[in-house]
Structure 1
């Protein structure tokens, strides 16, 4: 297959090697061991045992093995990520023959996740543009950034798709293979020297897999990039694109050497590859013991393969390469880690990116706006033009509860959008671009205008249709508390989704929390009648209760209601002799005797801040 990187594109990539001043000639690992506690026996169990390897700049090594062999765990260890939960890890990792700090390692390496964590509402060009804004220092001129981005787009064969959307559930975008190329290209923005790929061909057919790996191979060769990829049963053509293979089974090495020599190696051990069979498929089946009936025989064969590797010439060659590299290491090889982007500009970049998403992503924003408008019309027509008489006092109260509680409940529609943003954040955080604080600040700021727009649209329709207190002050009081209601509800979604980043779980927990807040908010049971247990911990911490109070005071404090024919007033008030009910009498029934709206607003703001801070703390603790 001809190289997809022509001479002009090579120059574009090569001219920007100065973006990262580190020079990486080799990367090695010795005696990597990962131990966990077995769930059944409760005894220590090795999921990786004494794995050693060596790869040089410009080479691509494949980590292969059957399911459960430890290849993903090994990839995480080599990328200096968490191997697995509650694991004990022993490792010796060296760049250019010497150890390097975690901070410096993150600056010279990038990790491409198995799932394409991309924003579907952005174009290919915009995706790379924002990756550059987040990763590159401000000292690099804009013209150089653009040239670097265009060089990557051309190098990965994406020129024709540069202005195409990545794709959303509503709007079709680029193909799966093109998405994978965009994922890799976005990680090459900072010109990393070590690139880790987790199943880069997962979900792709053989043609798309070969296409993706061809581009990666060409970029690696032309830019002396060191690539380590976990991969599962590639086609013959894709398999031959790799330079080296590290084959694992049950956490131990079975082969580690050139791909071109793997068939001969196993043939010499008495396991020749059948004619016309994919070598990669054959060796995976050879070391897979899961589906063999005679487990004793399968285990003996595996032990023979593992022990043969320890005695092989390839093992000796790798040990010698590691030893020679370590003895000839030079302090000059460590280089100077590249300068990072201005931390003060990162939230602004995230806000800019979210703004583009907000007006393009129909699912995240357009459908939600339509849903809230429909809810406003529903509310306004159900409680249509209520007359200010005592028979409608309960209807007004019901409408206030509905407007606040159900608008809050519908914030669950934000969960999918937040989870998409969070998955991108997890990827970018793992690659050292920014931390949870920048993400949370940007997420909060970008939500404010959108929630205010929803508040205005809902209020303009529902408030006047329902015929709430027809004064400007009461209307803006409603807008204020409804806005704080939505702000708190969305902050709750962020908190829950940060703690449980699975859609179904986040949906269930958020819905339950909203049901609890509705029950203790003061409408179902008046606060003065609520039992002590629920009142002191739930009612006072319930943002909906403060919203309900604020809206009730806005409606009833300065409004009067007719007692109707016969002048039999349902509420005792000073206006009873005038055949009217003062709204303050209604407030007294709920225990809202004093107008303390300033304090209530302060409490709501405090609840919003508390939700965000707890969510931020969770993000700092959780790395996935």
Structure 2
């Protein structure tokens, strides 16, 4: 397949037939564009917490969008803009909400999975990876969506476009997309600047909005939903962003629906249609150029030299009134006037006629229209992105490495040069517990880093780029080398300073236990944070779990006398318990200790007549047997696998 030439206006302006075709199997195919997107009688109902009565967040909203159109969704705060946008994008409207009504693509119903693949959604809150540069953010968005469409009609204007992109897009072409988007959104000077983390300052809030929009445009959607795309932008930047979005819609026959709050006159006039809401009901839906004529016809003329957007928002606000007429009555009259208007009736009739004229199907996109994302390529792209984040974001591993090095120095100097005599047996045991327990406890520092990753995953999964499996696999793999590095650095300092068993085998066995301990602790963080994606809740639960594991691990109360409930319910699933007993065996199984002057041995073993204590005597007091290192390590690996599996299930089932 030959790539089309760059900057070819004949290609950008070439009309592609939007008609539906039928293949040999009888399925409907969409040739190159989404011809229209319509919605009918959309209603979202929730139960009021105080009165327990039902109330509507949005009520009987209908509308229609044609390819190439840019539609503004406007209304006062709390009118239901974001709720409607979420319903149109088939996202959760509200907790416990009941949604009724229908949406149609090319006059037919499309199942949610395929609808997800043909749409993208830019949320109001930017879910960006702060340690990536602006250019890297767009690059990875392009890489993750590379196999999203076979027929990529939604190419970026002025970038390589083609009539049949059966072959993969080259790296050079993808970088050209990135470059053009950077220039179009005025962020080319920030291309090599990081987005920004809590510790490292990056780009401004307005620039983040532009990056968020650009990162979704590069994924070639057929329908694009934008929630407040101009939030945080000044009037000039807002105009430029909306102007480019409109050019994109027209050049590529896209449908773009954007919620927007109080745009300037010039920005408002860029929109082709306006859907005006108040209290969850329609006040107007139609061409932007006809707004003034319509409101003049119902007795609310737009004053001269007035921003029509500001006037309309004031007019349909039910909270405040600048006239003697009560705001609520005025808004109800406007809503009633729209419902009875010829335009509203015509829209309802038009949608009904078009839908009824086409055989209803549940799948408009077939395997010939789109490809399934390649799991390996997606995982590799995520690994690459995670690798950059891991070494660049000090929150992810940098701070933790410093923390663990500080812990190693503290441990090595507090338990400094312990001797193989009985008065040091308890300090040896204390050091083993401290090293293993607090290493895992300090894994709570991974919570904010995983929350950021999870937020990015939720956004990209909702836009149909990939599922929970590639994310969990890449997250697990990328952590292993960093955790091994931490384990090695910690052990090199603390192990030899404390004078544990001075053999290479014992040292590397110790490293193994520390490494498995950290992997299990991080897996616990992933599980808890996957279920509870809230910083305070996740931090509290992880800390509580680690406190529980310390209590039943075998040090504070030996397994031989531990309460049966705690022993059989929690001790055997406690990863810290296996680490502690493995490290105890590593230290005491092959080492003897002197009883000191007077030969008053604390532990009675077969070496008592030699004024010595065999280390196995210490292990027997805890109920630990030797020769089970492999078994314990295997159980620990199993616990890690279960944590990761449950974390995957939580992400798979939870949709936000």
Question: TM over 0.5: same fold?
Answer: yes
In structure 2, the CA distance between the partners of 1:12 and 1:381, relative to structure 1 (3 Å rule), is farther
Matched, 1:215 2:247: no
Matched, 1:110 2:110: no
- How many residues are paired up? 617
CA contact (8 A) 2:395 2:446 kept: no
> Aligned residue for 1:145?
174
Distance 1:121 1:480 in 2: 30
Matched, 1:578 2:588: no
In structure 2, the CA distance between the partners of 1:612 and 1:13, relative to structure 1 (3 Å rule), is farther
> Aligned residue for 1:41?
51
CA contact (8 A) 2:210 2:229 kept: no
CA deviation vs aligned residue, 1:213-246 (integer Å, no higher than 9, x gap): 2332232233222111122333334333322211
* Counterpart pick for 1:522 among 526, 548, 554: 554
3-state SS of paired residue (2:515): helix
* Counterpart pick for 2:216 among 168, 187, 198: 187
CA contact (8 A) 1:36 1:87 kept: yes
In structure 2, the CA distance between the partners of 1:566 and 1:294, relative to structure 1 (3 Å rule), is farther
Distance 1:562 1:327 in 2: 93
Equivalent positions of 1:369-408 (< 5 A) are 369-408=401-440
> Aligned residue for 2:158?
none
Q: Residue 164 of structure 1: CA displacement?
A: 2.7
Distance 2:256 2:171 in 1: 29
Distance 2:99 2:387 in 1: 42
CA contact (8 A) 2:418 2:499 kept: yes
3-state SS of paired residue (2:570): helix
CA contact (8 A) 1:156 1:181 kept: yes
3-state SS of paired residue (1:254): strand
> Aligned residue for 2:463?
431
In structure 2, the CA distance between the partners of 1:476 and 1:252, relative to structure 1 (3 Å rule), is same
3-state SS of paired residue (1:27): strand
TM-score (norm. length: structure 1)? 0.92
Q: Residue 91 of structure 1: CA displacement?
A: 1.8
Matched, 1:265 2:294: yes
> Aligned residue for 2:184?
155
* Counterpart pick for 1:446 among 478, 487, 508: 478
Q: Residue 190 of structure 1: CA displacement?
A: 3.4
Aligned-pair Cα RMSD in Å: 2.8
In structure 2, the CA distance between the partners of 1:13 and 1:55, relative to structure 1 (3 Å rule), is same
| Range that drifts further, 162-171 or 318-327 | 318-327
Distance 1:436 1:199 in 2: 28
Q: Residue 587 of structure 1: CA displacement?
A: 1.1
In structure 2, the CA distance between the partners of 1:524 and 1:90, relative to structure 1 (3 Å rule), is same
CA deviation vs aligned residue, 1:6-58 (integer Å, no higher than 9, x gap): x949789789x99x963122211111112222223333322221101112222
> Aligned residue for 2:92?
82
3-state SS of paired residue (1:454): helix
CA contact (8 A) 1:180 1:212 kept: no
Q: Residue 272 of structure 1: CA displacement?
A: 3.9
Q: Residue 573 of structure 1: CA displacement?
A: 1.4
CA contact (8 A) 1:22 1:338 kept: no
3-state SS of paired residue (1:344): helix
> Aligned residue for 2:41?
31
Distance 2:479 2:12 in 1: 38
User: What runs of 5+ residues in structure 1 fail to find an aligned partner?
Assistant: 1-6
Q: Residue 110 of structure 1: CA displacement?
A: 1.0
Equivalent positions of 1:197-212 (< 5 A) are 197-212=226-241
CA deviation vs aligned residue, 1:111-145 (integer Å, no higher than 9, x gap): 11112212122222222222222211373333433
CA deviation vs aligned residue, 1:501-546 (integer Å, no higher than 9, x gap): 0111100110111111111111111111111111111111111111
User: What runs of 5+ residues in structure 2 fail to find an aligned partner?
Assistant: 1-5, 18-29, 148-166
> Aligned residue for 1:64?
74
* Counterpart pick for 2:524 among 469, 487, 492: 492
3-state SS of paired residue (1:245): strand
| Range that drifts further, 583-592 or 510-519 | 583-592
* Counterpart pick for 1:134 among 114, 125, 144: 144
Q: Residue 275 of structure 1: CA displacement?
A: 5.9
Q: Residue 293 of structure 1: CA displacement?
A: 12
Equivalent positions of 1:332-347 (< 5 A) are 337-347=369-379
CA contact (8 A) 2:142 2:174 kept: yes
Matched, 1:283 2:322: no
In structure 2, the CA distance between the partners of 1:327 and 1:481, relative to structure 1 (3 Å rule), is same
Distance 1:578 1:282 in 2: 98
> Aligned residue for 1:245?
274
Distance 1:9 1:111 in 2: 29
> Aligned residue for 1:593?
625
In structure 2, the CA distance between the partners of 1:48 and 1:295, relative to structure 1 (3 Å rule), is farther
* Counterpart pick for 2:501 among 469, 481, 497: 469
CA deviation vs aligned residue, 1:144-197 (integer Å, no higher than 9, x gap): 333333343343333333333222233332333332222222222332221001
3-state SS of paired residue (2:405): helix
CA contact (8 A) 1:177 1:209 kept: no
3-state SS of paired residue (2:590): coil
In structure 2, the CA distance between the partners of 1:46 and 1:374, relative to structure 1 (3 Å rule), is same
